[in-house]
Amino acid sequence: MIPAAKPIIGDEEREAVDRVLRSGMLTSGPEVAAFEDEFSEYVGGRHCIAMNSGTSALHLALLAMGIGSGDEVIVPSFSFAATANAVALTGATPVFADIDRATFNLDPEAARAAITPRTKAIMPVHLYGQLAAMDRFESLAEEHGLQIIEDSAQSHLAAFNGRNAGEWGQTACFSFYPTKNMTSGEGGMVVTPDEKVARMLRLLRSQGMERRYENEVVGFNTRMTDIHAAIGRVQLRKLPEWTKQRQANAAFLDANIKGVVIPHVAPGATHVYHQYTIRIPVETGAERDAFMASLSAKGVGSGVYYPIPIHRLPSFKLTLDLPETELACRRVLSLPVHPSLSGDDLKSVAEAVSQTASELL
């Protein structure tokens, strides 16, 4: 079976962890500081603040931006629940807006229509490894005096008009969960150009303390450990090569898959293919299940990100009219695109998809 995702852990990662364990320095220390410095090189030299997860990164970034009870933050409903959870955890209200059909990303016009006097920020998600239409969100934010927070959990090294994910918002948040394009085991990173926001994030992640026992604000413990940072540093060095491999794999699938809609790359976008997501012309989730079962019978794993829009999950339970979100939830399917696929694997994926499309559609 060709797996839909596969974290790559090698000797270098094992040796890095061993080095930390031998040093006796287990919590945040020199490895975290070095990881932050090294990550900063990929986000235009902005401040980087490491966290224990992407979710903590989003939650604390919103708090550091001053967002809380009574505020509204515009988010897509077609994303992982953490996007909206982070907003709700601050006491603010996530306001769900519809997506653009071609890219699956938050639609700037839908976001504009969702602005109210309470709106404080917009949180575009760079879904599947492609940046949202950041030029348009930038003008929208400027026009209405709003902040932007990028959910960059799936978009390490992705770019739009020559600027990377992380180089657009007041803050941007990355995840290093094992299935992401690089991992630290668990982990996250907030990126910001704002020195004050950076300082607040360092306080919030560590009990509100800069100097020990002189707690300045009410804070959390969401620090990254040196063990995780050591893994992340090794992976970050491999990330550019892995990204090229993902892009080459996607180009092969683009050229060889027939009968379904392949990913659309917007002009100016550098897609990093966290997921290679096709759209199949089906009416129900059950028909997609049959498509997946057929792929599975041919030895090809696949996944659905995401089958239920966030606003309809039991945790939010809202009735909203988001037709493009609903359509995407029924029709998307993500195929293996990870860097460990062989040439034969890629051929099998393309053949299985094209054959299934001709049998079932």
Binding site for ligand PLP (CB under 6 A): 53-55, 79-80, 82-83, 125, 151, 153-154, 175, 177, 188
Nearer residue to ligand PLP within complex by CB, 28 or 183: 183
Question: How far is the C-alpha of 109 from the C-alpha of 89, rounded, in Å?
Answer: 26
**What residues does 334 pair with on adjacent strands?**
277, 303
| Minimum distance from residue 179 beta carbon to ligand PLP (Å) | 8
Nearer residue to ligand PLP within complex by CB, 75 or 352: 75
Nearer residue to ligand PLP within complex by CB, 39 or 177: 177
Question: How far is the C-alpha of 201 from the C-alpha of 40, rounded, in Å?
Answer: 16
Contacts for 187 with CB less than 8 Å, ≥ 6 apart: 50, 51, 52, 53, 54, 175, 176, 177, 224, 228, 229, 232
Nearer residue to ligand PLP within complex by CB, 164 or 356: 164
Question: How far is the C-alpha of 93 from the C-alpha of 86, rounded, in Å?
Answer: 10
Q: Is 311 helix (H, G, I), strand (E, B) or coil?
A: helix
- Output the six-digit token pair for 112: 């504009």
| Minimum distance from residue 151 beta carbon to ligand PLP (Å) | 5
Residue 134 CA to its chain's centroid (Å): 15
Nearer residue to ligand PLP within complex by CB, 154 or 235: 154
| Minimum distance from residue 271 beta carbon to ligand PLP (Å) | 15
Distances (CA, A) of 199 to 54, 168, 176, 207, 225: 18, 19, 22, 13, 19
Contacts for 142 with CB less than 8 Å, ≥ 6 apart: none
DSSP 8-class letter at 185: S
Cβ count near 274 (within 10 Å):
27
Residue facing ligand PLP at closest CB distance: 54
DSSP 8-class letter at 194: -
Nearer residue to ligand PLP within complex by CB, 42 or 174: 174
| Minimum distance from residue 180 beta carbon to ligand PLP (Å) | 6
Distances (CA, A) of 325 to 84, 112, 140, 263: 15, 17, 21, 16
| Minimum distance from residue 80 beta carbon to ligand PLP (Å) | 4
Nearer residue to ligand PLP within complex by CB, 294 or 334: 334
| Minimum distance from residue 263 beta carbon to ligand PLP (Å) | 16
Cβ count near 344 (within 10 Å):
9
| Minimum distance from residue 360 beta carbon to ligand PLP (Å) | 29
DSSP 8-class letter at 344: H
Amino acid at 275: Q
| Minimum distance from residue 185 beta carbon to ligand PLP (Å) | 10
Nearer residue to ligand PLP within complex by CB, 55 or 130: 55
